[in-house]
């Protein structure tokens, strides 16, 4: 079973789901996470994609992409989700979220998109939207303004972390040096550099 299929709703309640294994799965109440070994948990509580990014892909694919098409819980307008700095906090509705990193595309996403060579094309583009953790639980509604807080001084943007997960050595060094990953991912990446 997959939880990639999303549809617009009138409101979502977000809360910290706990660990990836043994937690609640998604940070969005009522959302389903099909593969809890690889998805969900505090660092992947909410997934955001910019409407502008969906439109960009729609032009290239020759079809309209609806909000939620990439499996995102939050489709934004006018926010540069793809270049968000890890650790930046967003106030949305009554919730506070914090950028944690990129989406790493999986086989379910490939099948869902039904485009030949999709994962290779998506990875080569290098812009993935952003995962967020829930700092303060709350309710988010369509049209709520996303207030972006001050970016941390390290300046590590989501695409840098994305490249690091694909073994770009310079990106890996920058990400490890900044300490922006959770302890498990940090140790794994640091070990690859050793």
Give the pLDDT score at 34.
66
Pick out the chain residues at pLDDT < 50: none
Give the pLDDT score at 4.
75
Q: Are 109 and 166 in contact (CB under 8 A)?
A: no
Residue 94, H or E segment? none
User: What's the full length of the chain, in residues?
Assistant: 194
Give the pLDDT score at 23.
72
Kindly report the three-state secondary structure assignment for every residue of 21-64.
CCCCCCCECCCCCCCCCCCCCHHHCEEEEEHHHHHHHHHHHCCC
- CATH class belonging to 12-151: mainly beta
Domain ranges of the chain: 12-151
């Amino acid at each position: 079973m997959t939880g990639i299929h999303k549809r617009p709703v009138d409101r979502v309640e977000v809360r910290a789901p706990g660990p990836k294994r043994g937690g609640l799965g998604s940070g969005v109440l009522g959302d389903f996470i099909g593969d809890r070994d690889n998805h969900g948990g505090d660092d992947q509580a909410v997934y955001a994609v910019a409407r502008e990014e969906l439109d960009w892909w729609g032009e290239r694919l020759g079809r309209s992409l609806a909000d939620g098409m990439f499996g995102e819980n939050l489709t934004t307008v006018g926010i540069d989700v793809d270049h968000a700095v890890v650790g930046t906090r967003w106030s949305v509705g009554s919730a506070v979220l914090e950028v944690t990193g990129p989406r790493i595309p999986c086989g379910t996403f490939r099948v869902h998109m039904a485009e030949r060579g999709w994962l290779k094309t998506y990875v080569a583009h290098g812009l993935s939207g952003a995962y967020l953790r829930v700092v303060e639980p709350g309710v988010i509604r369509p049209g709520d303004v996303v207030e972006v807080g001050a970016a941390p001084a390290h300046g590590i943007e989501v695409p840098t972390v994305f490249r690091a997960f694909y073994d770009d050595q310079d990106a890996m060094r920058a990400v490890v040096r900044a300490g922006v990953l959770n302890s498990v991912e940090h140790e794994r990446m640091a070990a690859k550099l050793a």
